[in-house]
Amino acid sequence: MLADMAWRRAAARGPALGLVTLLAALATVAYHVGASPPDGTGLFIQDRWTACTALLVLFSALCILLMSWRDVAGGEYTLLLVLATLGATAMVFSANDIPFFLGLEIVGMSLPGLLAFRRHQIMPACEAAMKYLILSGLSSAVLLFGMGLAYATTGSLRFVLPAPVAGTPPAMAMAATVMILAGMFFKLSAVPFHMWLPDVMEGAPVPVAAFIAVVSKIAMFSVFVRYFGAGPVTPTLNGVLYAVIILTILGGNLLALRQTSLMRLMACSSIAHVGYLLIAFFCPGSLQAGAITVYLLAYTVSTLGVFAIMSASAVPADPGGTVIAEWKGLFSRRPFLATAMSLMLLSLAGIPPGIGFLAKFQIAATGVEHQRDLLLCVLVIGSIIGLYYYLNIIRVMMGTATLSPLTMDRRMQPELTALIIVLSMIVVIGGLFPARIIQPLLPVSPGGSILPTE
């Protein structure tokens, strides 16, 4: 009995220590948000854009810890969550293959444990953990092999696009680029490397699914921008990126149309949003850095809001609460949650007054600046498809009330209530008064050192 009491006290201390650790890291990064970049010879780089991306990672991890405070949080869970956040933060600040891959592996080794940390539905969680472990290991091996070829080509471990030099065959540089690109696209779940994401997120606990959809995407996209934004891209690679952007936007949105599970729908939505971000990356210029930063912020707060509401709505015996039909009648029974969910979904769809409207507008502005007509058409078509399945969820919530476990009246946890209110305020203020939130996050000079201008 004494051992059990000691274990319970240690488990109760875990979330509190994790909260203090994340708050301290958040304050430290925020204090140095305006630091000037180094001379380019170190393993890490610290400029304003990177610091802002790290702030999003730490803020997201803090929100995810609050989502899992009562149901699944414990000493081991909190340790794995903080370790995964450490790996993601290392990836964000990386300017070299070594810290990038170490951070990637820290995330990759922590996530299977977090995925399996589901008390009520063990088999789906273990299946998701095994899928992620095997597929993530395979993609990491491809990525590492590409890094090895890049080092053999350039003689440097820094983020530099592989280019053939004297004594090395041109095919080696191309193979290195393709393998690195494939490994990163898998981590971003860009089409055609996307099929793992819905299966893994469906079997994961809600907070862990939020980590995969938000934190891991931010960290990998930051590395992707820094690596492939370091120099001119070859015409062949331009064609590959063009095709991936179109397939990712259309594929993610079309897959979301057929989903009856909200978790799988959010996974497909996440795939589509990666495609929108790639449009901004594909259009370097004066609007690029601001568009990427604003879109990352909008995607982060809106997606975290959806997952926080899912955590607040689910009952302990069935912590998933992911079947869309179960949300029927939520407006009549729990109007606060239904209103907040509608706000988040409208923001993800790019509809005012949410911050997502401004974010998608800036993505479109980068395409207009470079006259990417086909990408703009795909952006519009994808947004229309997304509007349909986002509004469908709102339609279900407006239906006749039912007595399903999801919508039964029960007291909501205060930390989740506070989290949903804060995220909703950010979404609304960012949409109505964008300068209040967005201006402090923008780089000192649009385009930044990692986002080259034309």
Domain end call among 178, 203, 231: 231
The per-residue pLDDT for 33 is: 60
Question: Mean pLDDT, to the nearest integer, of 144-155?
Answer: 88
Give the model confidence (pLDDT) of 256-290 as tens digits.
Answer: 998 888 999 999 999 999 999 999 888 887 778 88
The per-residue pLDDT for 450 is: 43
Question: Mean pLDDT, to the nearest integer, of 389-398?
Answer: 91
| AA identity, residue 92 | V
Tokens of 408: 């039964």
Q: Whole-angstrom Cα distance, residue 206 to residue 289?
A: 31
| AA identity, residue 90 | A
The per-residue pLDDT for 438 is: 63
**Left (φ > 0), alpha (ψ -120 to 50) or beta: where does 453 sit?**
beta
| AA identity, residue 167 | G
Q: Are 305 and 431 in contact (CB under 8 A)?
A: no
Domain end call among 214, 231, 248: 231
41 has pLDDT over 90: no
SS (H, E, C) 118-151: CCCCHHHHHHHHHHHHHHHHHHHHHHHHHHHHHH
What range does the domain containing 145 cover? 9-32+45-231
Identify whether residues 81 and 134 lie together within a single domain.
Answer: yes
Identify whether residues 395 and 340 lie together within a single domain.
Answer: yes
Cα diameter, the chain:
72
Q: Whole-angstrom Cα distance, residue 356 to residue 438?
A: 12
Question: Mean pLDDT, to the nearest integer, of 314-322?
Answer: 52
157 has pLDDT over 90: no
331 has pLDDT over 80: yes
Lowest mean pLDDT among 44-53, 146-155, 261-270, 438-447: 438-447
Identify whether residues 176 and 105 lie together within a single domain.
Answer: yes
Identify whether residues 308 and 250 lie together within a single domain.
Answer: yes
The position carrying tokens 């708050």 is 23
Domain end call among 231, 262, 277: 231
Q: Whole-angstrom Cα distance, residue 20 to residue 35?
A: 24
Total-model pTM = 0.89
The per-residue pLDDT for 10 is: 54
